[in-house]
Amino acid sequence: MFETLKAQPADKILALMQMFRDDPRTDKIDLGVGVYRNADGITPVMRAVKAAEHRLWETQDTKAYTGLLGDPAYADAMIGLILGDAVPRAAIAAAATPGGTGACRQAFEMIRMANPSARVFVSDPTWPNHISILNYLGIEAVPYRYFDSETRGVDFDGMISDLKKAAPGDVVLLHGCCHNPTGANLNPVQWQEVIAVLNATGAVPMIDIAYQGFGDGLEADAAGTRTVAAGVPECLIAASCSKNFGVYRERTGLLMAIAADTGRQGLNQGTLAFLNRQNYSFPPDHGARVVTTILNDADLRADWAAELEDVRLSMLGLRRQLADELQRLAGSDRFAFIGDHRGMFSRLGASPALVEKLRQDHGIYMVGDSRLNIAGLNAKTVPILADAIIRAGV
C-alpha cells in the first residue's frame, strides 16, 4: 500500500538547518531556524529549568499517567502567566499539548468540529506550519494583508479591510507578540481596532503566543492577548513554552478555549480532552511539570524571569547594533525597522535571489523570505552581516 504515497514538501526552515550543518565553511553564520542562541552559539538549558529538573528528580515518585488534559496545576500556572486576571478562570478550558504546534493543531481541530465550513484568516505572511496544518485538515486558510514591504511595518489599513471580510463562524489567527516571520507587531491602539472588527464581524480570534518575554517583556508581550481575551465573547489561545523556557524538545504547550459564558466551559473542556485522546491520549508531562515547578516557586520564577530578561535584552542589543551598523554603511536610516521589530525575527525584505547570494557568497543562512534570526548573531558577526547586506545590494 505504501507505493501510493507521494513525496511531501520539506519544511523549508528545517531543510535550511540541514544545509547549514552540511556547509564546510568555518565562518558560516546561521540565521535560520528560530532557536535562541547565546553569544557563543549555544542554546543553554536555563538555570531555573536545571534546578526544577533536579528537584523533580529528587521528589518525583511516579511516572504514572496524568489526566487527558495534563496536570491541572500546569494549566493554572500558564493561564496566570499569559492571561493574568484578564478573564474569569471559570470561563477557560485548557489542555496541555505537545508544544505550541500541538496547541495549534488541536485548536484547528476544535474549530473544524465546531464549524466544518469555518475559514481561518491568517496573516500574510505567517508561520508556514499554520498554513500546512490547515491545508492538511482541509480547512480553508484566507490570507489577510499584514506586512508592508515598503515600511517593513504592519500594513494596518490593509489588515483591517481584509479582516472585515470575516463572517460569524470564521476564525482570525493572530500572533500574540513577536510576529513570526516578520518581527512587525501591532501597537495597543491597533489591538483595540482589531477587537472592534472581530466584534463587528462575529469572527472568533485565535491567538498563537510562542515568544512571550522575547519582545518588550513578559507583561508587555501578553498585553495584546489579554485585551483580546477580555474584549471578545470567545477566544482560542495556543501557547508554547519552547522558547521562553528553552524546553524546545520537551514539547510543552497549552491550548486555552475561552467560553462566552462559564456554563459552556465544561463542554469545551470535554472537547479538548476528547481531542487529546483521539490524537495521543495523554500529553507530554516532563516539560509541563518543569514549567509548573518554576512558576509556582517564587525563587525559581524570579531567576527564570531574570534569565529570560537577559535573553531579551541581548537580542534587543543585537538589533540596535545591526540597525546602527547598517545606518552607518548605507548612510541612511532605511534599515531602522530592524531596531523597531521585536522578537527573534526580522524580515529584511530582500528578494530570494539576494538571500541565495548571501548564502553562496558569504555563508550567511537566512530563510528564503529573508527572515533572519537575530539570536544567531553576536557582536562580532553583526558587522560581517551588515557589510554583506550592503555589498549584496539589499
Binding site for ligand TYF (CB under 6 A): 11, 13-14, 33-34, 127, 129, 180
Stretch that binds ligand PLP, among 93-101, 138-146, 228-236, 279-287 (CB under 6 A): 93-101
Among 220, 164, 154, 155, residue whose Cα is nearest residue 188: 220
In the complex, least distance from residue 129 CB atom to ligand PLP, rounded to whole angstroms: 7
Dihedral angle, C-alpha 273, 274, 278, 284, nearest 10 °: 0
- Tell me, yes or no, if 28 is annotated catalytic: no
- Tell me, yes or no, if 210 is annotated catalytic: yes
Residue 4: Cβ-neighbour burial (10 angstroms; 0-12, 13-18, 19+): exposed
- Figure out which of the listed residues 123, 185, 225, 240 binds ligand PLP, where binding follows CB under 6 A: 240
Choosing among ligand PLP, ligand TYF, none, which partner's interface includes residue 240 (Cβ < 5 to 8 Å by kind)? Answer: ligand PLP
Which is closer to ligand PLP, CB of 91 or CB of 366?
A: 366
Q: Count the Cβ atoms, other than its own, within 10 Å of residue 219.
A: 12
The yes or no reply on residue 346 touching ligand PLP (CB under 6 A) is no
Instruction: Spot the catalytic one: 77, 93, 127, 229.
Output: 127
Stretch that binds ligand PLP, among 68-76, 84-92, 94-102, 286-294 (CB under 6 A): 94-102
Instruction: Spot the catalytic one: 208, 221, 285, 369.
Output: 208
In the window 101-160, what residues touch ligand PLP (CB under 6 A)? 101, 127
Choosing among ligand TYF, ligand PLP, none, which partner's interface includes residue 346 (Cβ < 5 to 8 Å by kind)? Answer: none
Element (H, E) at 171: strand 171-175
Q: How far apart are CA 141 and CA 131, in angstroms?
A: 7
* CA 20 to chain centroid: 23
In the complex, least distance from residue 132 CB atom to ligand PLP, rounded to whole angstroms: 12
In the complex, least distance from residue 11 CB atom to ligand TYF, rounded to whole angstroms: 4
CA atoms within 13 A on the CB side of 66: 22
Q: Count the Cβ atoms, other than its own, within 10 Å of residue 332.
A: 9
The yes or no reply on residue 213 touching ligand PLP (CB under 6 A) is no
Instruction: Spot the catalytic one: 48, 52, 77, 243.
Output: 243
- Tell me, yes or no, if 57 is annotated catalytic: no
CA atoms within 13 A on the CB side of 236: 28
Which is closer to ligand PLP, CB of 74 or CB of 127?
A: 127
Q: Give the E-state strand segments of 221-266 in sequence order.
A: 235-240, 253-258
Nearest position to ligand PLP, beta carbon: 99
CB 311 within 8 A of CB 35: no
CB 253 within 8 A of CB 97: yes
The yes or no reply on residue 210 touching ligand PLP (CB under 6 A) is yes
Which is closer to ligand TYF, CB of 93 or CB of 318?
A: 318
In the complex, least distance from residue 195 CB atom to ligand TYF, rounded to whole angstroms: 26
Among 394, 294, 288, residue whose Cα is nearest residue 351: 394
- Tell me, yes or no, if 191 is annotated catalytic: no
Choosing among ligand TYF, ligand PLP, none, which partner's interface includes residue 268 (Cβ < 5 to 8 Å by kind)? Answer: none
CB 261 within 8 A of CB 110: no
Stretch that binds ligand PLP, among 95-103, 194-202, 273-281, 311-319 (CB under 6 A): 95-103
Which is closer to ligand PLP, CB of 248 or CB of 282?
A: 248
- Here the cell at position 386 is 551588515
Choosing among ligand PLP, ligand TYF, none, which partner's interface includes residue 13 (Cβ < 5 to 8 Å by kind)? Answer: ligand TYF
Nearest position to ligand TYF, beta carbon: 34
Element (H, E) at 145: strand 140-145
The residues, any chain, with a CB within 8 Å of residue 256's CB and separated by 6 or more, are: 75, 79, 82, 83, 92, 93, 94, 235, 236, 237, 239
**Which positions lie near ligand PLP, rule CB under 6 A?**
34, 99-101, 127, 175, 180, 208, 210, 240, 242, 248, 253
Which residues have a catalytic role annotated?
127, 208, 210, 243
